[in-house]
A and B are shown apart, each in its own frame.
Chain A
Amino acid sequence: MGDRLLRGLVALVALAGVAVAGYLTYVHVEAAALICTGGGGCEQVQDSRYAELAGVPVALLGLATYLVVLGLVAWDSELARTLTAAIALAAVGFAGYLIVLQAFVIDAWCIWCLVNDLALVPLLALLTVARLVRRETARP
């Protein structure tokens, strides 16, 4: 898989992440977040004390992270690639923590959070690490 393709895929996953994290941020700050819509435990997760970090919605942190990743993909330097991989790996760790919170502390599951934590974040980490490793090993 060429670097160009990997770069495009990273951008694609980051864009999907912007959509999911953007939606979660919207429902958190919008008053309508204070209702049950039949979407499972999303309301409970979004309304929990862990949904904010020092007053900042966790979903907003996710949105900012994906935007930073998009910026780094556009920058496309050695440092940007290393930083992107570091951010994506950190996101995997934090997503794991959020899954543990949903399972054992909040005792409710938010489907869109799971899409992010179990699909987008690991995929982003995989692609950014592959890009970092491939770039070096493919050098003449």
Chain B
Amino acid sequence: MPPRPAKRPPRPLLLARRKLLLALAGAIVLVVVLVVASLAFRGSDDEGSAIVSTERDSSEYLDGIPQNGAILGDPGASLTLIQYEDLQCPICKQYTEGGFEGIVAEYVRSGDVKIRFVGLAFIGPDSEKALRYVLAAGEQGKLWQMNDTLYRRQGDENAGWVTDGLLENVAVELELDFAKLRTDASSASVTQTLDSMSAEATRREIPGTPWFYVQVGDGDPYEVRPTSLDFGAFESILDAARG
């Protein structure tokens, strides 16, 4: 009986290919598991974000609340919530559509709190154009309606979404005098307000938006850091400030 030939060890290239295939098979299984898990166990709209947004289509919740330039609410309110915002900031949009409405309903409408708007334009050119029109709307007593409406129409950052057409439509919707709005938006007065808001943010070293300060009476404003941007987080801050 002829001797059986000795079993040859696998060639290195074959061995390498085998290990690579093994790694690839493991990788494919892992990717499938991860993608399926990501789709199945992704956060819901409510829990993925700490902000609960509403699907509002108008600024009517602001109707009847006194406005004076950048201030919303009773000028005599002892508590002031100062908001630093950028009209292009998606988190500001979510806050405005969420927690802000609750604050207005529960604290501003009752005259306990007034809110001061401090607009910033650090994200890009669309931020400044939108901010100028928001400040200009303040000249016609509708800064907050303009602010709210532009957030609802917010586009992608610096995509050129703040068009003249959009601004004219918003002006018509809010019953603003568009010719005056356009003139005011490029006026020296609006430029001065914009610069002073920017200087205030720089002085306070505001790291981003939305950012908040609270002022009790004429005291020094102090920074507050809500744990989330929903109404509940502000409720505890404002109640604590009221004492």
Contacts and interface: CB of A to CB of B under 8 A. Distances in A.
Q: Do A and B bind each other?
A: yes
Interface of A: 31-32, 34-38, 40-41, 43-44, 47-55, 58, 81-83, 85-90, 92-94, 97, 107-108, 129, 132-133, 135-139
A26 to B, nearest CB: 14
A138 B227 CA distance: 56
Nearest to A52: B43
Contacts of B240: none
Contact of B37 (A40, A53, A87, A107): A53
Contacts of B44: 49
Interface string B11-35: 0110110011011101110110011
> What secondary structure prevails in chain A residues at the interface with B?
helix
Contact of B209 (A36, A47, A97, A137): A36
B12 A129 contact: no
Interface residues of B, number: 48
Contacts of A81: 19
Interface of B: 12-13, 15-16, 19-20, 22-24, 26-28, 30-31, 34-35, 37-38, 41-45, 48-51, 86, 88-92, 94, 122-123, 156-157, 207-211, 225-229
Given A37-B208, A44-B90, A53-B41, A129 B20 contact: yes
7 contacts: A35-B89, A41-B157, A86-B27, A89-B23, A89-B24, A90-B26, A137-B13
